[in-house]
């Protein structure tokens, strides 16, 4: 068999040259919208639930944890990662929708939300804490008293259900709450100015508020007198004790009605932190 390699190259010369000289189209990066500039303060807050000032403060605290070492031309800036995550929080949208907001894929949006959420969560002990000094205890009692003249209160407690996907497995039904959807039943204690001072976010949706409270650190701290004779105000879903006070279920007379009104108004901050949940 006569093999003539030159014939092969001669016959395919045009195709080979075309392949060698092929140039890809220039890779272009679409300019991302600067949302800090595009929106005024009102519209910005509607979209991200935080003011520009607060966003900048949060960004300063987490930038090192969400930045990447190799800054390619298409790298996503820390501010854009934070805004994408805040948008996801604010709307409760699907990751693919949050990704479209920034022009990234669903998988990229998932990584961004996880990274930013982890960075924010790492700050919890810096901002989420109960009073540690007598002065802080007195300040809380005084501020709560100004709401509806209810004495000795240092916090308002309640739980809210955070919807989740079914975790599957044999224990999935424990996460199904009385309304029929899967959730975590999350307990918070808040201050008069709506700051979360304590949070417990590990109980499945089927658990009762009182069960969560009885097994929380704040319960044992109250029982052990960490804050003296201070009280936590709650709704009727909790058991009334010397440390946590609730309204009368069937008030009798003006005194008990006034007492109920005072408690309801005093615990209003925790309701406001949950909004329409």
Looking at residue 139, its pLDDT comes to 98
Which phi-psi region, left, alpha or beta, contains residue 130 (left: φ > 0; alpha: ψ -120 to 50)?
Answer: beta
CB-CB neighbours of 198 under 10 Å: 18
Looking at residue 7, its pLDDT comes to 47
Looking at residue 27, its pLDDT comes to 46
Looking at residue 13, its pLDDT comes to 57
Closest-CA residue to 101 (of 83, 123, 126)? 83
Looking at residue 33, its pLDDT comes to 83
Q: What is the pLDDT along the chain (277 residues), one digit of tens a residue?
A: 554 555 444 555 555 555 555 555 554 455 678 889 999 999 999 989 999 999 999 999 999 999 976 655 567 899 999 999 999 898 876 777 777 777 888 888 899 999 999 999 999 999 999 999 999 999 999 999 999 999 999 999 999 999 999 999 999 999 999 999 999 999 999 999 999 999 999 999 999 999 999 999 999 999 999 999 999 999 999 999 999 999 999 999 999 999 999 999 999 999 999 875 5
Looking at residue 246, its pLDDT comes to 98
CA–CA distance, 37 with 210 (Å, rounded to integer): 46
pTM over 0.95: no
Any residues with CB less than 8 A from the CB of 177 and at least 6 apart, and which? Answer: 161, 183, 185, 205, 206
């Amino acid at each position: 068999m006569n093999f003539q390699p030159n014939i092969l190259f001669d016959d395919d010369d045009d195709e080979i040259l075309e392949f060698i000289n092929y140039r890809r189209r220039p890779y272009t990066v679409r300019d991302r919208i600067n949302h800090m500039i595009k929106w005024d303060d009102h519209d910005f807050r509607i979209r991200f639930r935080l003011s520009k000032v607060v966003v900048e403060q949060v960004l300063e605290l987490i930038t090192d944890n969400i930045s990447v070492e190799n800054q390619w031309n298409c790298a996503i800036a820390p501010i854009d990662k934070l805004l994408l995550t805040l948008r996801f929080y604010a709307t409760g949208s699907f990751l693919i929708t949050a990704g479209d907001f920034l022009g990234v894929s669903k998988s990229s949006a998932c990584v961004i939300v996880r990274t930013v959420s982890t960075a924010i969560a790492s700050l919890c002990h810096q901002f989420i804490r109960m009073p540690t000094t007598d002065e802080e205890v007195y300040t809380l009692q005084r501020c709560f008293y100004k709401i509806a003249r209810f004495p000795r209160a240092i916090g308002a407690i309640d739980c809210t259900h955070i919807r989740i996907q079914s975790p599957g497995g044999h224990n999935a039904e424990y996460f199904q709450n009385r309304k029929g959807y899967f959730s975590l039943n999350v307990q918070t204690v808040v201050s008069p100015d709506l700051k979360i001072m304590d949070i417990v976010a590990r109980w499945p949706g089927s658990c009762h508020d009182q069960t969560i409270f009885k097994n929380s650190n704040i319960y044992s701290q109250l029982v052990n007198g960490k804050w003296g004779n201070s009280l936590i105000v709650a709704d009727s879903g909790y058991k009334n004790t010397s440390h946590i006070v609730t309204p009368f279920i069937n008030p009798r007379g003006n005194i008990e009605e006034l007492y109920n009104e005072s408690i309801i108004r005093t615990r209003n901050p925790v309701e406001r932190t949950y909004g329409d949940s």
